[in-house]
Structure 1
Amino acid sequence: MARVVGFELSSQDPEKAAEFYSKVFGWEIFEPNWDYWPIKTGEDKNPGINGGIGKGPNDYPHGTRIQIEVDSIDEAISTAKNNGAMVVRDKMEFDDFYLAYLVDPVGISFGLIEKK
């Protein structure tokens, strides 16, 4: 079963958004990497779902996406498309994982992650 492993907040002003979430919720915001500010939402004894804030691209300037970890991103993309999803950003490669963005048949955006 695929599980939610993170979230991504898209903003046109990610630094301001990071400051807001840090002040309001006490989330720990880390230095940006690839214009993406990682977020820790819990403590070791009481963990939360971690995520990040990124500068929203033109296709998704504002909003929240969950990140779903799958065993095979290629199979998940194919199955999602066969069930009415649209690929917004095809499989991208990063140091430790692959990532893709899709929109389900009712317009909800989500990310798929496959660890290397």
Structure 2
Amino acid sequence: MPRPIHFDLTADNPERAVKFYQSVFGWKFEKWDGPMEYWMCTTGDKDEPGINGGLSRKGDSGMPAMNTIGVANVDEFSKKIASSGGKVVMPKSPIPGVGWFATCQDTEGNLFGIIQEDKNAK
């Protein structure tokens, strides 16, 4: 069953936001060496329940703050979303070295991402 596996936060000042989340919750951040300005966020030990996420500068990434759900196939789930009354608002696109990603909207207007892991995505 697909589950939320990642969250995204956005910030006007990412360095300030990183400092906030580190001081309040003890989360760890590491700047990602990818095609956009992004910080990977570890929220706890891998043996504890919960998910990790990331943080980007508002406007730079084009990504809103949202949750991402891991799926086996982005194309199949995009069809399921559309046939169930949702929308695919940003079609499948690669995140190099990570996988295939699409931004979707549920019937209530909530945005969420779906991701298919594929280290060969380009």
Give yes or no for TM over 0.5.
yes
Deviation at 1:81, TM superposition (A): 1.1
CA contact (8 A) 1:66 1:110 kept: yes
Return closer, same or farther for 1:78/1:18 CA change in 2, 3 Å cut-off: same
> TM-score with structure 2 length normalisation?
0.81
Q: Structure 2: which 5+ residue stretches go unaligned?
A: none
1:45-76 Cα shifts (integer Å, max 9, x gaps): 535310001123489676x3111000110010
Task: Tell me which amino acid in the other structure corresponds to 2:31.
Answer: E
Return closer, same or farther for 1:18/1:59 CA change in 2, 3 Å cut-off: closer
Question: What RMSD in Å do the two structures reach over aligned CA positions?
Answer: 2.2
Task: Tell me which amino acid in the other structure corresponds to 1:12.
Answer: D
CA contact (8 A) 1:55 1:61 kept: no
CA contact (8 A) 1:2 1:69 kept: yes
Q: Give the structure 1 partner of residue 37 of structure 2.
A: 35
- The SS at the match of 1:30 is strand
Q: How does 1:12-23 map to 2 (within 5 A)?
A: 12-23=12-23
Deviation at 1:11, TM superposition (A): 2.4
Q: Structure 1 vs Structure 2: percent identity of aligned residues?
A: 32
> TM-score with structure 1 length normalisation?
0.85
How many residues matched? 115
Task: Tell me which amino acid in the other structure corresponds to 1:90.
Answer: P
Q: Give the structure 2 partner of residue 76 of structure 1.
A: 77
Return closer, same or farther for 1:61/1:21 CA change in 2, 3 Å cut-off: same
CA distance in 2, matches of 1:84, 1:69: 20
Check if 1:93 corresponds to 2:94: yes
Return closer, same or farther for 1:105/1:56 CA change in 2, 3 Å cut-off: farther
Return closer, same or farther for 1:9/1:47 CA change in 2, 3 Å cut-off: same
CA contact (8 A) 1:12 1:61 kept: no
Q: Structure 1: which 5+ residue stretches go unaligned?
A: none
